[in-house]
Amino acid sequence: MTDGFDPYALRAQFPAFNASDWVYLDSAATAQKPQCVIDAICQSYMAPVANVHRGQHQASLSTTAQFEQARREVAAFIDANPSEIIWTRGATEAINLLAYSLSHTLTANDCILVSEMEHHANLLPWQLIAQRTGAQLVKIPCCVSTGQLDMDAYQQALTTRPRIVAISHVSNVTGTRHPIEAMTALAHRHGATVIIDGAQGIVHEPLSMQTLNADFYVFSGHKLYGPTGIGVLYGKPEALATLAPFHGGGKMITDVTFDDHTLAPIPARFEAGTPNTAGAIGLAAAIQWLKQYDAQAIDTHISDCYQSLLDGLKQRPAIKLICPQPHSTIVSFVVEGEHHADIAELLSQQNVAVRSGHHCAHPLIKALGVEGTVRVSLGAYNHQEDIQRFLTALDKTLYLLGV
């Protein structure tokens, strides 16, 4: 217990742990959901159901009010204005929207800087756009011994005056927290548009968009203790104004003739069709739930668990840590001569859930010189008993493998 913060009381709010005696160490993939989020989603379907922004009857007006209140909750959470928040299906769709829209401004003379440590969601959209426009895709390399981006190489690459810089807030493989503030400021000095994938970062480190000053920041609801199928694209007003819509359909226009149309104001022009109303309401509930806790107390608690995890892994000679960070929520490792999937499977048989594989980050895994890793990632609901149970299960796994 840390300064009044009780991880056991927090954990008790998650039905997934009440229903099963398991150790869940895969929150970087998706987080479990507290009861209040489940209740908010259920209530949104149990009340009279209606579409938003389309009806004058009470059900539609009530649903619209909840939908827009959710937008305001998200905006307040990241210190932004509601008009700067675009609903998407997740971080992946948000980045694809940006890549599609910004592609209309790119030529074969332009370049896009993307870090070597990106999840495929923040690499493949830029690959596709580079192939379509002829623009050059330029890598920001990482130092494979530290898991940090090569800032000297980054500053050198900026001298080519790239049009776009796309980087993650936190690596989903190593847990590296990139210096996004400094990287954003440097990129802006060279006239670049900055896009940050915050999927792994926002849950552990809420940011002020006013302070960060990135042009765009994206994240998914399901890693933030919210539902799947909902995501957020934040954009500066002047940056959003340059974008072309990704989807066409209802709600995103104010007038249509057979040959042309007039776009609705932002954010509506980017939200064609029936939205994931329940997802937005569920994400707002998750943010409200998270805000009731002291963020520093949660961070301290998770840091203590992470340190116990790191210390335990370092004490086992068979374990090779992959660029461990001094402060993180993610650690990856390999066991020489053993397949990462075998380790994850043997842990699973002991009711311990971890992730194994390339973590949708093939270029980074290849740069690290491994075929894949076992990844352990923490959430606010984990506690020291989880760490000890994991280490005990790991010892048995290594014994069974003859390591």
pLDDT tens-digit series, residues 45-64: 999 888 898 888 988 899 99
The C-alpha angle 164, 170, 175, rounded to 5 degrees, equals 145
Instruction: With respect to residue 12, please indicate whether it lies within any of the assigned structural domains.
Output: yes
Specify whether 360 is located in the same domain as 299.
yes
Task: Give, as one character, the DSSP assignment of residue 236.
Answer: -
Mean predicted confidence (pLDDT) in 342-352: 98
Specify whether 317 is located in the same domain as 349.
yes
* Tokens, residue 264: 């609705």
Greater confidence (19 vs 281) lies with 281
Residue 22 has pLDDT above 90, yes or no: yes
- Predicted TM-score (pTM) of the model is 0.96
pLDDT of residue 5: 87
CA distance 90 to 145: 32
Specify whether 332 is located in the same domain as 273.
no
**Among 111, 305, 323, 360, the one annotated catalytic:** 360
pLDDT of residue 364: 98
Q: Which residues contact 177 (CB under 8 A, 6 or more apart)?
A: 169, 170, 201, 205, 325, 327, 328
Specify whether 78 is located in the same domain as 172.
yes
The pair phi, psi for residue 2, each rounded to 5°, is: -120, 110
pLDDT tens digits, 130-189: 999 999 999 999 999 999 999 999 999 999 999 999 999 999 999 999 999 999 999 999
| Domain termination site, one of 291, 307, 339 | 291
Specify whether 274 is located in the same domain as 299.
no
Mean predicted confidence (pLDDT) in 307-321: 98
Q: Tell me the β-bridge partners of 167.
A: 196
Share of the chain above pLDDT 90, in %: 93
Specify whether 254 is located in the same domain as 299.
no
CA distance 54 to 216: 29
Instruction: With respect to residue 360, please indicate whether it lies within any of the assigned structural domains.
Output: yes
Instruction: With respect to residue 68, please indicate whether it lies within any of the assigned structural domains.
Output: yes
pLDDT of residue 50: 87
Q: Are 45 and 227 within 8 A, CB to CB? A: no
Specify whether 112 is located in the same domain as 195.
yes
Specify whether 193 is located in the same domain as 313.
no
Residue 2 has pLDDT above 80, yes or no: no
Instruction: With respect to residue 2, please indicate whether it lies within any of the assigned structural domains.
Output: no
Q: pLDDT band at 276, cuts 50/70/90? A: very high
pLDDT of residue 225: 98
Instruction: With respect to residue 26, please indicate whether it lies within any of the assigned structural domains.
Output: yes
Residue 114 has pLDDT above 70, yes or no: yes
Specify whether 300 is located in the same domain as 286.
no
For the chain, give the mean pLDDT. 96
- CATH of residue 62: 3.40.640.10
Mean predicted confidence (pLDDT) in 347-363: 98
Residue 401 has pLDDT above 70, yes or no: yes
| Domain termination site, one of 291, 313, 339 | 291
- CATH of residue 339: 3.90.1150.10
Instruction: With respect to residue 202, please indicate whether it lies within any of the assigned structural domains.
Output: yes
Q: Tell me the β-bridge partners of 375.
A: 332, 355
Question: Between β-strands 373-377 and 136-140, what pairing exists: parallel, antiparallel or unpaired?
Answer: unpaired
Instruction: With respect to residue 319, please indicate whether it lies within any of the assigned structural domains.
Output: yes
pLDDT of residue 55: 80
CA atoms within a 13 Å half-sphere pointing along the CA-CB vector of 369: 9
- Comparing CA positions, the residue from 55, 162, 183, 67 lying closest to residue 110 is 162
* Residue type present at position 297: A
Specify whether 190 is located in the same domain as 203.
yes
Specify whether 315 is located in the same domain as 283.
no
Q: How many domains does the chain have?
A: 2
Residue 111 has pLDDT above 80, yes or no: yes
CA distance 282 to 286: 6
pLDDT tens digits, 198-254: 999 999 998 999 999 999 999 999 999 999 999 999 999 999 999 999 999 999 999
CA distance 25 to 289: 21
Sign for the CA dihedral angle at 344, 380, 209, 288 comes to: positive
| Domain termination site, one of 256, 291, 326 | 291
* Residue type present at position 241: A
Residue 1 has pLDDT above 70, yes or no: no
Greater confidence (5 vs 97) lies with 97
Q: pLDDT band at 297, cuts 50/70/90? A: very high
111 is an active site residue? no
CA distance 200 to 175: 8
pLDDT of residue 206: 84
pLDDT of residue 3: 57
Q: Domain containing 232: what range? A: 38-291
Instruction: With respect to residue 1, please indicate whether it lies within any of the assigned structural domains.
Output: no
Specify whether 123 is located in the same domain as 265.
yes
Q: Are 15 and 38 within 8 A, CB to CB? A: yes
Mean predicted confidence (pLDDT) in 335-343: 97
* Tokens, residue 12: 């008790």
